[in-house]
Structure 1
């Protein structure tokens, strides 16, 4: 995977939770011609939909993050999609993944309250790793740091952050995570207070960024670098 990163790519963003259109990744790639994106999406149907191209929006609200991913970006090699979930696991394992019948983007490792998010379509097994496993193999000799990690993982955001080991404090400039654990059974710990407390312990400070919606943090180690980094999350 890393051997095929185009030579013109000079910086990296990570998009955790692509849904069926990878809209946020699409916005980044359209704005930054030298960007390489790593996307994580556990739902195999969503990944197949993205890779097939010609993605049609399933709801007008889904356009808020931008247009669905143009296949030209896949063909260029500037985005790679990893069909696995992330969490705070000790080793790769298979876990149940609850696919929502109404909006596949709200599917999760946690069962959701069907009164609010609609019926569960099916339960599938998906491979789960942690961010540290990914970062252990990352080509740090080529990229000194990660610009930005955007997480939208339906109740798993805090667990994903905890699974990064020391890489957050050492190698990541910006992080955005969604505190929506209250919508999922057993995910109450994924809330704004706990996410903020964890990120503070990782040497980050919470900021109000004009181009993000969910809680966003900058690493105090990279305050000067952060001034020149574009981030966006809708």
Structure 2
């Protein structure tokens, strides 16, 4: 069900989630000041950063085979500046991402644009989990909905959330927890056309698209050939999907 990879990234097979809200760590005045100083320096270096609402992972454990318990807490991006503060105690970030396969067994991998917080990084379509609005709940339906929204906004693929299957989870020490969803396969030509439409629409509105380009990879070897930084979760997810595709004969 789980394995530790050479990068320190763990990969879990998961079928269900149980989510419960917790509380963010209470910070001393000294930690708050140190956090804010690090954040302000980061924003000065990269104005693309913004202090929007996000969800941190306050706890993670197995409850039964295939069911992952997640305790979450509402924070903002500023919270993760605590990673640069000794003894800061930052929560791991919680994010969703999507495997969008082609009908011949390859996977969409995307490069972040220069206007983002991590320019040039290769990753799967996805983004940070956001806390629910007033009266809302953060549950399995909400998470698959956020994954579907990221896929539509970034790649132009509109899919009903219930068509996305929770497929894996990744954990990188105390830095991040990712929930990976599997989308129905589509032809490469259709995916390229949908992505081109997203790029054109963003630029016509005077905005820089979040993704600079997409490519299609069949294996970790092809992924390794992409120049530039890679998000830590991409290689193990691509490897697992490629192995599963090989077993299916795709």
TM-score calculated relative to the size of structure 2 = 0.26
Q: Would you tell me which structure has more strand in proportion to its own residues?
A: 2
Bigger Rg, structure 1 or 2: 2
Return the structure number with greater relative CO, CA threshold 8 A, min gap 6. 2
TM-score calculated relative to the size of structure 1 = 0.27
